[in-house]
Amino acid sequence: MIFWGIRKKRLQGGALDEMQCPDCRKRELTKNAVIRYIHLYWIPLFTFSSSAELECAVCGKLIKGKELGSEMKKDIKSELITAGQILSKNFGVLLLLTVIFLFALYVSFS
């Protein structure tokens, strides 16, 4: 049996004081970015999407998608998602490229 599927990692950012929650009207929103990746036996293969959201610490309301606006999404993603996090979730692709590279070296020297 092969275990594979989609997993997500939530990266938590700081508080956002200038906005209030549309449901409870409290200023308790925190910034989150979510990376989705495909795994094989829990080893991350590659990242296929990332998104941003705001979460209310009081009522748990999630603000995402169109509610958030593209400018805010871009800001949150660039603040929270680093190249290292993306690379660590592309382990399978990096491994495959390494194997191909080593095989090409081997072929060219034999």
- DSSP state, residue 27: S
Q: Would you count residue 9 as binding Zn ion (CB under 5 A)?
A: no
Q: Would you count residue 23 as binding Zn ion (CB under 5 A)?
A: yes
Q: Would you count residue 24 as binding Zn ion (CB under 5 A)?
A: yes
3-state secondary structure of 4: strand
Torsion sign across C-alpha atoms 58, 62, 54, 87 = positive
Tokens coding 101:
């590279």
Q: Which is nearer to Zn ion, 21 or 35 (CB)?
A: 21
- Find out whether 31 and 54 touch, Cβ atoms under 8 Å: yes
Q: Would you count residue 19 as binding Zn ion (CB under 5 A)?
A: no
Q: Which is nearer to Zn ion, 20 or 88 (CB)?
A: 20
Footprint on residues 47-106 left by Zn ion (CB under 5 A):
56, 58-59, 61
Q: Would you count residue 29 as binding Zn ion (CB under 5 A)?
A: no
Residue with tokens 């296929």: 48
Q: Which is nearer to Zn ion, 20 or 85 (CB)?
A: 20
